[in-house]
Amino acid sequence: PISWMQIKQEITACRPFILFIKGDATDPDAPRTQDGSVWKANNHVIVVKGYYEDKSTGNKYLITNDSWI
């Protein structure tokens, strides 16, 4: 796993990276979409190119490129 701090360091250093996603609806820590639903793509990769932190809610978001969409 990669920490939020590591994500921020990589993006700040202009180093986008590939993230492997395994969506598992039974896992409480599974990746979620912005509406809160579990990411249902198993064995999927995306390119992480940015991040956003909502200071009012504390939520953290990744800005990605996804070739599947």
For the CA atoms of 7, 10, 20, 59, what is the dihedral angle to 10 degrees?
A: 20
How many angstroms separate the CA atoms of 18 and 2, rounded? 11
**The pLDDT value given to residue 40:** 62
**The pLDDT value given to residue 48:** 94
**The pLDDT value given to residue 55:** 94
Q: Which residues of the chain have pLDDT under 50?
A: none
The model carries a pTM of 0.70
Q: Which two tokens stand for residue 37?
A: 């639903």
